[in-house]
A and B are shown apart, each in its own frame.
Chain A
Amino acid sequence: MSSPVQDLSVLHQRREQRLMLALALPALLVILLLVVLPVGWLAWQSVYHNGFTLENYRRIWSEDIYWRSFALTFQISLLVTLLSLLLGYPIAYAASIAPKRWGIIILALVVLPFWTSVLVRAYAWLALLQRTGVINQVLRQVGVIDEPLALVHNTFGTVVATLHILLPFMVLPLYATMQQIPRDLMQAGASLGAGPMLTFWRIFLPLSLPGVLAGCTLVFVLTLGFYITPELLGGGRTIMISMLVSRNVELYDQWGAASAVGVVLLVAVGLIFFAVSRFIPLDRVLGQK
C-alpha cells in the first residue's frame, strides 16, 4: 500500500468523524441542558443551603430509615431484574427463532402494555390482586383457598406490577442481540456432534450475553427509581428510596434534603457498576457487534 492512499483514507475517516460529531451535537446539547445541568444543580443544592453544609448527608448517614429504604430498594431491584431475565429470556428466544411473522406478534404482545400508563396498570393490578380481586375470587370458587391471599398492599404486589412494567425493557435488548447471532454457528456446532442443549449453552447463551447485560442494566436502574407502583401497591409498608425523596421535600422544606438522597443513590449505582465492571469486561461485552 502506498502512503498517499493511506493519507486519503485517514482524511476521509476524520471527515466522517467530524460529520458524526456534528450530527450528535444537538442530542449532546439536550443531554447537557436536561440532564447534566439539573443533576449538577441538585447536587449543589444538597451541599449548599445558606452556606456550605453536609447536614443532609449526615442525616442520611445517621438515620437508619435511609439504610432500610436503600436496602429494600436494591433488594427489589435485584429481584425484579432476575425475574424479568427468567421470564424475558425465553420470550426473546422464542421471538428470535420463530418465523418472522410470529416473532413480530410476540414482540407486539410484549410492547402492547406500553400503550397504557403506569398508573392505569397499577390500578389494573389492584383489581386483579386485591382480596376481592379477580385472582382471589377465582381461587376461592375453584376451592383452592378458603381465605383470600394477601397478594397486594405489600412487597409482593409491588414486585409483580414492577416486573410487568419493566419486562419489555428486558425483552427488547435481548431480542435485538439474539437476532444478530448467526444461525449457522449453531448448525456448525451440531455438525460437530453437539446436541441442542450443548449448542445453546456453549454458543447461543455466551453470544446473547451483551443483551442480557443491557437488559439487566436497564431494568435494574429503572426499578431503583420506581415511585408510583410501590406507592399504590405497597400498602404503605414498601418504602422505596424515591418515596423518601418526595417525603424529604415535604418534611425538610428544602430541595437539598431530597436531592442528597438522589445523589447517594446515583453514587451507589455508579459504584455498583464500577465493581461489576471489575469482574465483567462491560465495555467489551456491550461493545460487541
Chain B
Amino acid sequence: MMIASCCRRALLGVSLGVCFGALAALPANAQQITFVSQGGAYQKAQTVAILDPSAKKLGITINQDSIPDAWPAIKSQVASGKPTWDVVDVPTGYCLRGGEQGLLEKLDFSKLPNAAAMPEAYRSPYSVAYEFYSSVLAYSEKKFSAGAAPNSWADFWDVKKFPGRRALRNHPIATLEAALMADGVAPDKLYPLDVDRAFKKLEEIKPNITVWWTSGAQSAQLLNDGEVDMVMAWNGRVSALTKEGAKVAYTYNQGILQSTSLCILKDAPNLATAVRFLNEAVDPVHQANLPLHIDYGPANPKAFDTGVIKPERVAQLPSAPENAAKQALMSYAWWSSPAGEAAEKRWVGFMQR
C-alpha cells in the first residue's frame, strides 16, 4: 500500500526502463495479455483479488508488469506502433488524456456488460474505473478529541477554532476542491471549479500550512511524527497508520473521491483478450474481493451487494455508498479540460509567492 499510493501520480524519472522487453515470446495460441499497474502491495492485492481469479475464469494468462508512472511509457509504446502492454491501471486523468491524444482504444460497452452496468460517472469512452481512494481530512487524536475534531474543510481553514499545524498536498488536484468546499461550495456543485475563488481561499490558509507534501509516505510521516496536527491525505495512508497503533483518525466527510481506471493501449497486441479481461476485472465479485486485501474501495458499486464485504468493512471503504454520499466525486474530465490544465499550471506560481 505504501508504494501503491505514493506512486499515484508523478514520481517521475524513477524507472521508465524497467518494463520494456522481456515479454516478447510466448506461444501464440495461448490467450494472454500484459497488464500493468503501479506495483507494491497494491498490485499484490489485485493479483489475489482480481487478476488470478480473472485469469482462471477466462482461461487466459495475465502477464504482469509494474511502473510508478506509466504515462511516459504509454506514450512512447504507442508512438512506436508496436506496444507491448495491453491493459493499464492508471490514475483516471491519464485515461482521459490518452483517449484525447489517440493513445487508447475506444471501448465498445456492448462487449463490456459489467462496465456498462456501472454509473456513468465511473467510466469514459476510453476507460472504466477500477478502484477508489479518497483525499480525506486526517488529524491527530492526541491534539483533537473525538467530539472536538475538525470535520470539514471549513474546520480545516478555521485556525481559531482548531489551532494547530497543517499540511496540504503540493498539488492542485483535490486541493482546489477542498478550498472551494471550505468556502462553502457544496460537494456536488464543485465543477467546473471556480479556480480564482479556490486560489483566493488557499491564499487565506497558506500562512498556516507548515508543509506542502509531495509523496503519500511524507503525508503519513508528518502526521505520525506530530509534525502537523491535521493534513489532507489519502485514506489508505491514514488507515495504515491506525493499524500500526498511531493516534490518528480521518473523516470521509467532504473527502474527494478519486479513482484509477483501466484502459487499453491503441493497437494493443492482444486486443480481443484485453477487452474480455477488462469486463472481468470489474466483475462485482472480484471487485468485492479487493478491499479484503487493501484499503481501497471497489469501483463497481454492485460489489457491495455481493455480501463478500462485511458491514464493518464496508463502513471503512471510500466508495461504500454511505461514504461516497458524503464526498465529492473528482471530475477527471474537468481536470483534463483546458481550464483544468490551466489551473494546474498556476500552481507553482502560487507556491512561490
Contact surface of A with B, Cβ cutoff 8 Å: 63-65, 68-69, 126, 130-132, 150, 153, 231-232, 235-237, 239, 244, 246-247, 249-251, 253
Residue ranges of B at the interface with A (Cβ–Cβ < 8 Å): 9-10, 12-13, 72, 75, 97, 165, 170, 210-214, 218, 221, 225-227, 341, 344-345, 348-349, 351-352
17 residue pairs of the A-B complex, CB under 8 angstroms, read A64-B349, A65-B348, A69-B352, A126-B221, A131-B226, A132-B226, A132-B227, A231-B214, A232-B214, A236-B170, A236-B211, A236-B212, A247-B348, A249-B12, A251-B344, A251-B345, A253-B75
Given that A69-B352, A239-B352, A244-B348 are known contacts, is A250 also in contact with B10, CB under 8 Å in the complex? yes
User: What's the least CB distance linking A71 to chain B, in Å?
Assistant: 10
Chain A residue with Cβ nearest B352: A68
In the complex, chain B residues whose CB is within 8 Å of the CB of A68: 352
Task: Tell whether, in the assembled complex, residue A250 and residue B352 are in contact, meaning their CB atoms are under 8 Å apart.
Answer: no
Q: Which residue on chain B has the smallest CB distance to residue A250?
A: B10
Chain B residues positioned under 8 Å from A250 (CB to CB): 9-10, 12
Q: Tell me how many residue pairs across A and B have CB atoms closer than 8 Å.
A: 54
Chain A: CB-nearest residue to B9: A250
Could you tell me the distance in whole angstroms from the C-beta of A171 to the nearest C-beta in chain B?
30
Residues of B within 8 A of A131 (CB): 165, 226-227
Q: What are the residues of chain A within 8 A of B10 when measuring CB–CB?
A: 246, 250
A253 to B79, CA, bound (A): 13
| Contacting residues, chain B, for A251 (C-beta < 8 A) | 341, 344-345
A130 cross-chain contacts in B, Cβ below 8 A: 225, 227
Closest to A67 in B: B352
- Known contacts: A130-B225, A132-B227, A250-B10. The answer to whether A65 contacts B214 by CB under 8 A is no
Chain B residues closer than 8 Å to A236, beta-carbon distance: 170, 211-214, 351
Nearest-neighbour CB distance to chain B for A96, whole angstroms, equals 39
Q: How far is the CA of A236 from the CA of B341 in the complex (A)?
A: 20
Choose one: B13, B344, B351; the contact of A239 (CB below 8 Å): B351
B226 touches A235 (CB 8 A): no
The reply to whether B13 and A246 form a contact with Cβ atoms under 8 Å apart is yes
